[in-house]
Amino acid sequence: MRIEDPRLTAAFRELGVELRPSTSLADETSLGIGGTTDLLRIQKHESIPDLLALLDKNHVPHKFLGGGSNLLVGDGELPWVMLQLVRPEPDVQIEGNIASVDAAADLGRTVTFCAKNDLGGMEGLIGVPGTVGGALRMNAGAYGMQIGSYVREVKLYRAAARRIETLRGEQISFEYRHTSFAPDDMMLSVKLELPSKPFREILQGIRICNEKRRSSQPLGQKSAGCIFKNPPGASAGRMIDELGLKGLSVGDARVSDRHANFFVNAGKASAKDMLALIASVRQRVHKAYGFDLENEVVVWTA
């Protein structure tokens, strides 16, 4: 979608919003798949209510992009614009056991920064790409932990109320890769309450998690992490592996040989290829095990 109306582009400038025309989502996502659209980069949280009112008034649909590491975006010209927060400097501030983190902060760097300040708990998230905002939205987790357990409060743009609000941790439900935020709420910043731990001990935990990832995931290839959620009491990866589907391909979309729940873009895969591969694997798992696998990857198609 192209925004060419000079009144809109002038209004963006006034709001401190940078317009990047015809951005390729293939370049902005870890899967390397996706068509093009205009990207609006937001400098100041306070401008968001006015920006969204402006987009709504002019019938411009939008979606929110974090680090693009959990997204499968459709091909061709996309019928919506992308919004993204610009990372401020500094993006993490520590006071006692509380880390105040901007949603645009890189998740991995946040984990290490907190570690250097003797704050632990998030070792499992090392190696999870993307932003802190994306991790909150998805309740990212690994190796028995999830970010939601450490959330003291979240500042967010509440789409329903059309204003910026602060929610306490206990007002939000964090479940397995699911949160109670409304689909068009926008995370702006978070206060995490983290346990004190000596840096050396945290580093040891980080090394163990890094090693586990390196030995089991196709880290050098383009992916969006796990494609499917694990159904209760079962492992999607194990079922796909047991069915002998590692290496199954549609075009350049391929089930990883290393981790059966990671689907990789082995070249120039299109969204159509990847969606066909997902549908084929889902159908075979359903036939063999009776589970209807739910996507963990967020799919945006027109």
In the set 78, 92, 126, 135, which binds ligand FAD (CB under 6 A)?
135
Is the torsion defined by CA of 156, 145, 112, 68 positive or negative? negative
Residue 129, interface with ligand FAD (CB under 6 A)? Answer: yes
For ligand FAD, give the closer residue by CB, 118 or 219. Answer: 219
In the set 131, 189, 261, 270, which binds ligand FAD (CB under 6 A)?
131
Q: Which residues are catalytic?
A: 177, 226, 296
In the set 128, 209, 236, 277, which binds ligand FAD (CB under 6 A)?
128
- DSSP strand E in 127-248: where? 141-142, 145-146, 151-158, 163-168, 174-175, 178-179, 186-193
Subset of residues 224 to 243 that bind ligand FAD, contact rule: CB under 6 A: 224-225
* Binding-site string for ligand FAD from residue 139 to residue 168, where x marks contact by CB under 6 A and - marks none: -xxx--------------------------
Q: What is the dihedral of CA 134, 270, 241, 137, to 10 degrees?
A: 10
Residue 103, interface with ligand FAD (CB under 6 A)? Answer: yes
Encode 263-272: b = buried (16+ Cβ within 10 Å), e = exposed. Answer: bbbeeebbbb
What's the rounded Cα separation, in Å, for the pair 200 and 54?
Answer: 49
What's the rounded Cα separation, in Å, for the pair 251 and 164?
Answer: 44
Subset of residues 269 to 288 that bind ligand FAD, contact rule: CB under 6 A: none
In which residue are the tokens 């959990």 written? 70
Q: Please, are residues 243 and 284 in contact by the beta-carbon 8 Å criterion? A: yes
In the set 32, 34, 35, 66, which binds ligand FAD (CB under 6 A)?
66
- Contacts with ligand FAD by CB under 6 A lie at 30, 63-71, 103, 128-131, 133-135, 137-138, 140-142, 186-187, 217, 219, 223-225, 298
